């Protein structure tokens, strides 16, 4: 009898798929996303839908232009993950053109101009975020006040109107909807020579982070634990990132609690938890060796602390990730594991 042949072993069907990995990431993002909608309103959902539609469209367009069949790539969900992460990093009522141009940056510039999935040296969502932050700083700093302390919150239709109908700045409810983020407040307060304790007596601060923000972060952390449990991500980057952010923050906090925010505040504010579990763990642009991942995560954490404390921006996960992306080839080069049987440590 004649048989079909396979060129090379192994023949056992593979245990995993890229699309499964991406779907697990989306599933892990779900609780945090729902919490964000709960605390910060429908704008998050509207932008999410817009971003996902754009991401799929840009992905298909880019693949068509590159002469590839778009379907297998669209089915891998990677463009959707990128768009999703970008929206979670944007102000909740960012106007539609911010979202569209952000997704364009992420998918077309940061991903496909470098060769598409697997070839991008920088995290596409973070490239887009930083481009927007630098290009449109005013629009990127209008954050919605969390529901429990907001004077007014917008319904779904109103959110759509704001997002598509112009900008939040011109909206007559602007002052009653928006509020500085906790990290913003700290930065501004410190320049006004207030103590941390004085700043943290403001309404926006919660138990250990900001009102609402801290709970969104908790749900992200839950999703992150799911990814760890499913072994979609390795523990090395999140643990190293949180330690490298928390330990220096703790040292400075203990040395001068009036002037430096507590490590818990650092970890549960801004993009730290989302960054630790979902952004810095992007495999394509991060280190792939075990020791390299510790260094990569620690680098992101430490840079975030430094930029937050002494830099010009209130948060710094995006900058830190991009800076460490640059260092990735170097890190990988110097962190080759010891090959079986080679002399060295055991």
The span of 26-34, 85-93, 261-269, 337-345 binding other proteins (CB under 8 A) equals 337-345
Judged by CB under 8 A, the residue of 39, 40, 42, 73 near other proteins is 73
Q: Which two tokens stand for residue 259?
A: 């002037």
**Residues 314 and 272 sit within 8 Å (Cβ to Cβ):** no
Q: Which two tokens stand for residue 114?
A: 């470098």
φ, ψ (nearest 5 deg) of residue 252: -70, -35
CA distance 91 to 167: 12
What is the torsion angle, in degrees rounded to the nearest 10, for the CA atoms of residue 292, residue 280, residue 237 and residue 313?
100
The residue among 137, 131, 142, 130 whose CA lies nearest residue 171 is 142
CA distance 53 to 168: 23
Judged by CB under 8 A, the residue of 172, 192, 339, 345 near other proteins is 339
Judged by CB under 8 A, the residue of 134, 310, 341, 345 near other proteins is 341
Which 100-119 positions form the footprint of other proteins (CB under 8 A)?
116-119
Rg from Cα positions in the chain: 21
Nearer to other proteins, 5 or 255 (CB): 5
Q: For the chain, first and last CA: distance in Å? A: 50
229 lies in the binding site for other proteins (CB under 8 A): no
6 lies in the binding site for other proteins (CB under 8 A): yes
The span of 5-13, 140-148, 219-227, 251-259 binding other proteins (CB under 8 A) equals 5-13
Nearer to other proteins, 69 or 172 (CB): 69
68 lies in the binding site for other proteins (CB under 8 A): no
Nearer to other proteins, 60 or 203 (CB): 60
Binding track, positions 181-220, relative to other proteins; x by CB under 8 A:
----------------------------------------
138 alpha carbon, distance to own chain's centre: 20
The residue among 109, 288, 315 whose CA lies nearest residue 213 is 315
345 lies in the binding site for other proteins (CB under 8 A): no
Binding track, positions 252-291, relative to other proteins; x by CB under 8 A:
-------------------------------xx-x-xxx-
Nearer to other proteins, 3 or 229 (CB): 3
Nearer to other proteins, 249 or 284 (CB): 284
Angstrom distances, CA of residue 120 to CA of 106, 322, 325: 10, 12, 10
For tokens 């055991």, the residue is 346
Q: To the nearest whole angstrom, how small is the minimum distance from the Cβ of residue 328 to other proteins? A: 9
Is residue 282 classed as helix, strand or coil in its secondary structure?
coil
234 lies in the binding site for other proteins (CB under 8 A): yes
Binding site for other proteins (CB under 8 A): 1-18, 20-21, 72-73, 76, 78, 116-119, 234, 283-284, 286, 288-290, 293, 332, 336-343
């Amino acid at each position: 009898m004649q048989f079909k042949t396979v060129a090379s072993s192994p023949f056992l069907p593979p245990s995993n798929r890229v699309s499964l990995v991406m779907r697990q990431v989306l599933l892990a993002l779900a609780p945090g996303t729902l919490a964000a909608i709960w605390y910060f309103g429908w704008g998050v959902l509207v932008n999410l839908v817009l971003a996902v539609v754009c991401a799929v469209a840009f992905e298909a367009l880019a693949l068509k232009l590159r002469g590839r069949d778009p379907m297998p790539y669209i089915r891998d969900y990677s463009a959707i993950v990128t768009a999703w992460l970008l929206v979670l990093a944007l102000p909740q009522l960012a106007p539609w053109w911010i979202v569209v141009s952000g997704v364009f940056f992420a998918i077309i510039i940061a991903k496909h101009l470098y060769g598409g999935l697997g070839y991008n040296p920088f995290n596409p969502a973070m490239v887009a975020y930083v481009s927007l932050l630098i290009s449109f700083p005013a629009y990127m700093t209008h954050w919605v006040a969390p529901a429990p302390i907001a004077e007014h919150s917008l319904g779904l239709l109103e959110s759509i109107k704001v997002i598509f109908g112009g900008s939040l700045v011109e909206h007559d409810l602007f002052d009653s909807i928006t509020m500085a983020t906790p990290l913003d407040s700290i930065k501004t307060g410190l320049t006004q020579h207030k103590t941390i304790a004085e700043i943290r007596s403001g309404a926006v601060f919660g138990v250990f982070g900001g009102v609402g923000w801290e709970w969104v972060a908790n749900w992200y952390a839950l999703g992150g634990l799911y990814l760890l449990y499913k072994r979609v991500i390795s523990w090395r980057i999140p643990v190293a990132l949180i330690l490298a952010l928390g330990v220096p923050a703790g040292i400075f906090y203990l040395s001068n609690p009036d002037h430096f925010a507590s490590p818990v505040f650092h970890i549960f504010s801004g993009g730290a938890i989302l960054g630790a579990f979902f952004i810095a763990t992007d495999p394509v642009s991060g280190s792939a060796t075990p020791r390299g991942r510790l260094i990569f995560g620690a680098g992101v954490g430490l840079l975030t602390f430094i930029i937050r404390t002494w830099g010009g921006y209130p948060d710094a996960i995006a900058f830190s990730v991009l800076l460490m992306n640059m260092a990735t080839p170097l890190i990988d080069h110097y962190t080759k594991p010891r090959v079986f049987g080679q002399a060295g440590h055991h």
